[in-house]
Amino acid sequence: MAELLRVENLKTYYNTLRGIVRAVDGVSFTLRKGEVLGIAGESGSGKSTLAWSLLGLVPPPGYVKEGHIYLDGMDITRMSEAELRKKVRWKKISMVFQGAMNALTPVYTVGRQIEEVFKIHAPHMGKQEVWNRIYELLESVGLHRSIAHRYPHELSGGQKQRVVIAMALALEPDIVIADEPTTALDVVVQAQILNLLKRLQREKGLSIILITHDLGVIAELAETVMIMYAGKMVEYGPADLVFTRPKHPYTEALLKAIPRLRGPVDKLIYIPGQPPDLTRPPPGCKFAPRCPLAMDECHEKEPPLFKLVDGRLSACWLNRNEALEAGG
Amino acid sequence: MSVTLKSIVDFWREYRRYPIGLVGLGLLLLLIIAALTFPIFGDYQVVKNWLTNQEYFQDYPRAVPPCWVGLLTGQSQTQTIIAKDAEVASFVAVEGPVQGEDGYVRYRITATFTVTGATEPSDVALEAYMSYQADPPGVLIEEIKVVRPDGKEFYLVKPVLPGGLNVNLPLETVAPTIGTVFGYPNTKLPGADVPFSLVGLAQNPVVITRFILPTLTQEYGAELAGASLSQLLTNVYRAIFSDDIAAALKGEDYNVLQGDYQVIITFAGKNLDMEIEPKKFVVKGSCYGLLGTDDKGRPLDQGIYYGVRWALIIGLLTSVITVVVGTLYGIAAGYIGGIVDEVLLRFAQVVYSLPVLPLLILLAALFKPNIWMIIILIVAFSWPGISFVTRSMALQIKSEPYVEAAIAAGAGTLRILILYILPQVLPYMFASMALSVPGAVIAEASLSFLGLGDPDLVTWGKILYDAQDAGAALNGYWWWVIPPGLAIALVGMTFVFIGNALDTILNPKLKR
Amino acid sequence: MATARAILTRVVNSLITLVVALLFISAIFAVFKVTELEGRLAEELPLMLQQLEQQYRHNPELFEEKAKQLEQDLREKYGLTGSYWENVVNWTVRLLISNLTFNFGTTQYSYIGGTNDVGEILIIALKNTAILFVTATIITSIIGIILGLQMARRPGSPLDRGISILGMISWSLPTWWVAIIMLLVFSFYLGIFPTQMKDVYSELARLPGGLEYYILSIPIWLRYMALPVITLVLVSFGGWAYIVRNIVLGVLQEDFVMAARARGLPERRVIYGHVLRTSSPPIVTYIALSLVGAFGGAIITEAVFGWPGMGLVYWVAIQNQDATVLVASTWVLTVAFILTILILDFIYALLDPRVRVG
């Protein structure tokens, strides 16, 4: 299937007072039409920065140091603000923010905020037409059309999340980035939202980049998974493979840390230590200080992304032997 | 949750990152030093007499700028000389008795001084203990003149007939008596301190019409035609020191004649027996001190210096009490909740909605409070603002799990307030205290400026009140008007800087 | 209907405040008045008693009677018929009524407008004060918002630091002192502006009538208003800009700002339509707050300039110890003040949908 998005060696850094934070340090991947890619990692792993980079929204003092983001024949990293606004944002890629938080401007009704999107991007549409669309969008995410005239503070967390999703689909983009779409929602609502996303993806053939620290969510929705750690991609591959037979120690540790409802009740397993300081990353593999399988080599040399037999990528010296070729 | 030594050290480390806060702290140190050192370097006598005893300042020049102005403008200034008792001898000499051929015994006072500035002294004054008697009774003033550096003699009193003729007549017919000129008993003065003032003489209408005018008309007659009496009245004194007497008299521009001057007063009488003991000699210069003087001669540098301690006391006391009261009120209301909270909140809201200054003015004007009452009044209107914020904080902390746990463990209200809520509110309290000081200082200064401050206190607001009363701004007395306001601003800025640093530390959204 | 309830609550709150203020003002004036009148009574009575004694020296009993009657009459005249506290309450009620009905009586001193009716004087003075204050506030808020926005978008820039420091400095300056300095510089040294602002009336009086008056009077008003307005703006705009900066800075960090940008909205729209719009309720709150402080300072500033407004009225009243005018002015100012705050409260509700529910 057609390749929609190609990210090549993206490096996004933040130039802070404490030093240069290497938030995204050489990440590459592609996204096909209709593919759902889940990006998982702890907070501080760089996943949000990655998402923002795709829209050219990295807040200062952040900047894209190196790399390319190819979308539909354009290189996002080389585009001006005006071009990004006109051609890319919301039209080609849109973003579903954490709706339960402050993703909606508090002083305008929800409908007006969606209307604004049309006014800016589709000024030729008549008012009646726009509002019809708005009602359609709201209904498509399972909300009653009267919601359009409500203010954000009048809605529940779940309703706000649906609104944010509806807003993201307004211009029928090719790619939707969902940044923690179910965090801060209670479990029941979470399930509803996930089902909604699944349905929409099927109906519209959307490509979704799903960013979350919740592996369960990725398992529900994603066909491909990328595990990020300290700004780098450490494992990448089809979701079922990565979750059933992880190749990278970090992925393994993440999976082990998920408490099981059934089975013997044991101690809680967690990953000891902290993610590294991204202004002064350790030499060698970034995960080595916390890795239970670390060898001497791991502390000295950084492992490349090995391409494995089943098509997966994994950045661990342990995978050396299974590798088809280095790099990915 | 207690404030430990470590957290203080941590706090200081954080505070050090903000240059503005450090500037504020430095200024605070300066102010405290100024407030504490007044007894050492300041002149308490000046302050003590400031409000009550005008006479104390009679020797100071009136409304003159500070002497360093001369350095800036390039114009030299005439220094003020105040010589008392033993020092007087270096300026004033007394001669006599001298028996004259015309039968009169004469005594003479000669005062010598130098004018160095581009402006003439604002007065030359002398005070002498005198007693005299003559036989037959009658003490005459033979002459009062100023001998100028250019040798010209400027007569203020000269024996001359009414009408201006100067014929060789016996002295008693043409010379004025001491009573006419000075108002002292002509026949006999048993012993008193007698003051002379050059300005007084030069502006005395009788002296001018009877003596000065005729003498001047003789010398400069034609040039003075058409000048009015009131004009001459003001210009005679200046003419004494000018290089172009006629021009000065007519009110035109002139340059001050610099050099040595002598003021000579000659007394005459038959069988005159006089005792003259000069006690004080004053040349009121064109400048004085570090900050000049006001229209009553009071040295402003002392006033400003002294004002520091009151500004600090008022500012700190007011803001500390306000914040403490407001905080306790707020956390009590927030924590106790329910009806009590409702009532307390409403009350605070009502007080908060009242316009502070008009009410303060009304209260002060009607009841004339002293400074402590004023402080209490200011506090009474200022506490609600803090109480709202601390109430919100208390509400928030109240719902925290550890507080609920403490309650479940049986902790009482007071204990919770002190151990859990207060420590978290403390940093905000300090920031508020700092930020409230400027407002408090300005509030008190405003009341003083309107004349409603404590009447027994010398504060910067009071100094500005006097300035406004004397029309200082419209007369160009910038040295009177600028320093007090700058001082108020300085105190305010000190605390704003400190408060701003504290605020930035506590409010993470504003951190850089 | 929740909105109606919200409106009602606010109005009721304002009314309560007004009532409390009214009681307070009337009571303290009553205390003052009773003390003053008692003093006057204590002076007058002995003198009049002496006269009476002369009159009735042959008839001591009749004298007793007459003396009692005299004291009674005097006390009635001054309204001091009861005990001290009864008198205070009595007078408080009297003043309550006169204040509520805005019936203040007359004064013996001359203020503005050539009238002795306190009510008329206050109307003129209030109008003039409002002109000055409103103009200055509008100009200050415009400058403050524009500057504050720019500062928030470039935190740490020279503009930001400079204006922030300026704001902090002007927070410590008494407005009336700056007024004095302005007079010193512009009226004394440079002679650009007139010195006594109340002279505006004498200049206006020299104008011809009719339409010409209205056209010509404007530049005259402007010339006299200029220095006071410049002073008020100069002292306030720094602090304004700083507060707006902080508010906007806080809002800029909210998620919805990035979300708005992500939607491809032009930056201009994001800043004005979303950021500023969301900042406007707290800014309005700040307007209300700053009114409290700025108001008092502005009144005194008026007095310094001799602007024929409430400031001048206060100044003259204080000099002359004219308690009647003082109380009337305070009451009128309090009413005006509370009304203004109420209006601002409504504007806040209009701007922030989150508070409209109760």
Side chain identity at residue A124, one-letter code: H
Q: How far is C58 from chain B (nearest CA, A)?
A: 45
Q: What is the pLDDT of residues B243-295, one digit of tens each?
A: 888 778 777 788 888 889 999 999 988 888 889 999 899 988 888 888 988 88
Q: How far is C171 from chain B (nearest CA, A)?
A: 7
Give the predicted TM-score (pTM) of the model: 0.78
The span from the CA of B449 to the CA of B467, in Å, is: 9
The answer to whether the Cβ–Cβ distance between B451 and C318 falls below 8 Å is yes
> What does the angle CA C293 – CA C294 – CA C297 come to, to the nearest 5 degrees?
95
The answer to whether the Cβ–Cβ distance between A105 and C256 falls below 8 Å is yes
Q: How far is B11 from chain C (nearest CA, A)?
A: 22
Q: How many contacts, defined by CB atoms under 8 Å, are there between B and C?
A: 160
By the 8 A CB rule, do B294 and B64 touch? no
Could you give the domains of chain A? Answer: 3-92+173-327 (3.40.50.300)
Q: Which residue has the higher pLDDT, C180 or B249?
A: C180
Residue B430 CA neighbour count, 13 Å, CB half? 14
Residue C206 CA neighbour count, 13 Å, CB half? 5
The answer to whether the Cβ–Cβ distance between A94 and C263 falls below 8 Å is yes
Among C267, C269, C353, beta carbon nearest to A107: C353
Beta strands (DSSP E) in chain C are none
> Which chain B residues are within 8 Å of C255, Cβ to Cβ?
none
Residue C53 has pLDDT above 50, yes or no: yes
Q: What is the pLDDT of residues C190-214, one digit of tens each?
A: 877 777 776 777 777 776 767 777 7
The span from the CA of B24 to the CA of B430, in Å, is: 14
Q: How far is CA B354 from the centre of its chain?
A: 35
> Which chain C residues are within 8 Å of B439, Cβ to Cβ?
293
What pLDDT does A261 receive? 67
* Whether residue A61 has a cis bond before it, omega within 30° of 0: yes
The span from the CA of C264 to the CA of A257, in Å, is: 39
Q: How far is C271 from chain B (nearest CA, A)?
A: 18
Residue B159 has pLDDT above 50, yes or no: yes
Q: What is the pLDDT of residues B138-156, one digit of tens each?
A: 888 888 989 999 888 888 8
> Which chain A residues are within 8 Å of C260, Cβ to Cβ?
105
Cβ neighbours for C209, distance < 8 A, ≥ 6 positions apart: none
What pLDDT does A60 receive? 82
Q: How far is CA B350 from the centre of its chain?
A: 40
By the 8 A CB rule, do C328 and C125 touch? no
CATH no. of C118-357: 1.10.3720.10
The answer to whether the Cβ–Cβ distance between C277 and A105 falls below 8 Å is yes
Phi, psi of B80 (to 5 degrees): -85, 135
Closest CA to A271 of A55, A41, A79: A41
Domain boundaries, chain B: 27-50+299-511, 69-284
Closest-CA residue of chain A to C352: A107
The span from the CA of C169 to the CA of B97, in Å, is: 67
Among B354, B360, B443, beta carbon nearest to C334: B354
What pLDDT does A38 receive? 92
At the fourth CATH level, the homologous superfamily of domain B27-50+299-511 is MetI-like (1.10.3720.10)
Residue length of chain B: 512
Find chains touching chain A: ≥3 CB pairs under 8 Å. Answer: C
Closest-CA residue of chain A to C274: A105
Residue B193 has pLDDT above 60, yes or no: yes
Q: How confident is the model at residue B512 (pLDDT cuts 50, 70, 90)?
A: very low
By the 8 A CB rule, do B295 and B63 touch? yes
Closest-CA residue of chain C to A55: C262
Q: Which residue has the higher pLDDT, C277 or B208?
A: C277
By the 8 A CB rule, do B283 and B131 touch? no
Tell me if residue C301 falls in helix, strand or coil. helix
By the 8 A CB rule, do B261 and B92 touch? no
Write out the two tokens for B193: 């301190």
Token look-up 């309550």 returns C96
What pLDDT does B265 receive? 92
- The arithmetic mean of pLDDT across residues A174-197, rounded, is 85
The answer, for A60 touching chain C at a CB cutoff of 8 Å, is no
- The arithmetic mean of pLDDT across residues C132-140, rounded, is 90
Token look-up 């010296």 returns A317
The answer, for C250 touching chain B at a CB cutoff of 8 Å, is yes
Q: How confident is the model at residue B4 (pLDDT cuts 50, 70, 90)?
A: low
By the 8 A CB rule, do B238 and B98 touch? no
Closest CA to B127 of B350, B337, B301, B277: B277
- The arithmetic mean of pLDDT across residues C239-268, rounded, is 88
The answer to whether the Cβ–Cβ distance between C255 and A55 falls below 8 Å is no
Percent of chain C with pLDDT over 90: 6
Sign of the Cα pseudo-torsion (B397, B402, B406, B409, in order): positive
Residues 224-283 of C with CB under 8 A from A: 254-256, 258-267, 269, 273-274, 277-278, 280-281
Domain boundaries, chain C: 2-100, 118-357
The answer to whether the Cβ–Cβ distance between B512 and C156 falls below 8 Å is yes
What pLDDT does B222 receive? 62
Question: In this structure, are strands A36-40 and A224-229 parallel, antiparallel, or unpaired?
Answer: parallel
DSSP B297-334: --BHHHHHHHHHHHHHHHHHHHHHHHHHHHHHHHHHHH
CB atoms within 10 A of CB A207: 22
Find chains touching chain C: ≥3 CB pairs under 8 Å. Answer: A, B
Among B361, B474, B481, beta carbon nearest to C181: B481
The answer to whether the Cβ–Cβ distance between C177 and B485 falls below 8 Å is yes
Q: What is the pLDDT of residues B336-387, one digit of tens each?
A: 888 999 899 989 988 888 888 888 888 888 888 889 999 999 999 999 989 9
Tell me if residue A21 falls in helix, strand or coil. strand
Closest CA to A166 of A185, A192, A201, A142: A142
Percent of chain B with pLDDT over 70: 95
**Three-state secondary structure of B209-234:** HHHHHHHHHHHHHHHHCCCCHHHHHH
The answer, for C39 touching chain B at a CB cutoff of 8 Å, is no
DSSP B392-413: HHHHHHHTSHHHHHHHHTT--H
The span from the CA of B355 to the CA of B443, in Å, is: 13
Of these ranges, B68-72, B151-155, B311-315, C29-33, the one predicted with the greatest mean pLDDT is B311-315
Among C254, C264, C351, beta carbon nearest to A102: C254
Tell me if residue B281 falls in helix, strand or coil. strand
Q: What is the pLDDT of residues A121-148, one digit of tens each?
A: 888 988 899 999 999 989 988 889 898 9
> Which chain C residues are within 8 Å of A17, Cβ to Cβ?
none
The span from the CA of B461 to the CA of B409, in Å, is: 55
Sign of the Cα pseudo-torsion (B350, B352, B357, B360, in order): positive
The answer to whether the Cβ–Cβ distance between A95 and C259 falls below 8 Å is yes
Cβ neighbours for C194, distance < 8 A, ≥ 6 positions apart: C187, C223, C224
A204 burial type by CB count under 10 A (0-12 exposed, 13-18 middle, 19+ buried): middle
Q: How confident is the model at residue B62 (pLDDT cuts 50, 70, 90)?
A: confident
- Secondary structure letter of residue C199 according to DSSP: G
User: What does each C-alpha distance from B131 to B41, B86, B128, B184, B186 come to in angstroms?
Assistant: 40, 20, 10, 11, 11
> Which chain C residues are within 8 Å of A151, Cβ to Cβ?
353-354
The span from the CA of B122 to the CA of B369, in Å, is: 39
Closest-CA residue of chain B to C310: B358
What pLDDT does A212 receive? 87
> Which chain C residues are within 8 Å of B361, Cβ to Cβ?
314, 318, 326, 330
Token look-up 């979470």 returns A190
Closest CA to B289 of B34, B87, B50, B68: B68
> Which chain A residues are within 8 Å of C258, Cβ to Cβ?
52, 57, 59, 97
The answer to whether the Cβ–Cβ distance between B355 and C337 falls below 8 Å is yes
Residue B230 has pLDDT above 60, yes or no: yes
Among A59, A104, A120, beta carbon nearest to C265: A120
> Which chain C residues are within 8 Å of B464, Cβ to Cβ?
177, 180
The span from the CA of C16 to the CA of C12, in Å, is: 6
The answer, for C297 touching chain B at a CB cutoff of 8 Å, is yes
Q: How many contacts, defined by CB atoms under 8 Å, are there between A and C?
A: 76
By the 8 A CB rule, do B396 and B337 touch? no
The answer to whether the Cβ–Cβ distance between A95 and C255 falls below 8 Å is no
Percent of chain B with pLDDT over 90: 21
Largest Cα separation within chain A, whole Å, is 67
